[in-house]
Amino acid sequence: MNQRKMAFDPGQYVKLLPGLVGIVLNKAQYLAATKLLKQGQKPGRYFAPGCCQHPDYVIQIPVLFEDETFDVMRAMNIKHIDSPPPKKRQKLRTIIEKLDQYSRREQTMEDCIFCKIVKGEIPCFKVYEDDKVLAFEDINPIDLGHTLIIPKNHAENLFEIPDEDLAAIHLAAKKIARGIREALNPTGIACLQLNGKGANQVVMHYHFHLVPRHEGAPELPITSWELKPGDMGAIEETAKKIAAAIEG
113 contributes a contact to ligand 5GP by CB under 6 A: yes
Strands annotated E in 107-170: 126-129, 133-137, 147-151
The Cβ-side half-sphere exposure at 121, using a 13 Å CA radius, reads 9
**According to CB under 6 A, which residues from 90 to 109 bind ligand 5GP?**
none
220 binds ligand 5GP (CB under 6 A): no
Estimate the crossing angle of helix 27-39 against helix 86-111, to 10 degrees.
80
Catalytic residue among 146, 154, 205, 207: 207
Residue nearest ligand 5GP by beta-carbon distance: 140
Q: Does 203 bind ligand 5GP (CB under 6 A)?
A: yes
Residue 78: which of Zn ion, ligand 5GP, none does it interact with, CB under 5 to 8 A by kind? Answer: none
- What's the Rg (C-alpha) of the chain? 26
Q: Judge whether 207 counts as a catalytic residue.
A: yes
Name the amino acid, one letter, at 153: N
CA distances, 13 to each of 6, 26, 39, 56, 75 (Å):
13, 12, 27, 19, 13
Sites of contact with Zn ion (CB under 5 A): 112, 114-115, 154, 205
CB nearer to ligand 5GP: give 88 or 154. 154
Using CB under 6 A as the binding rule, whether residue 185 contacts ligand 5GP is answered as no
Can you give the binding site for ligand 5GP, defined by CB under 6 A? 113, 122, 124, 136-140, 148, 194, 200-203, 207
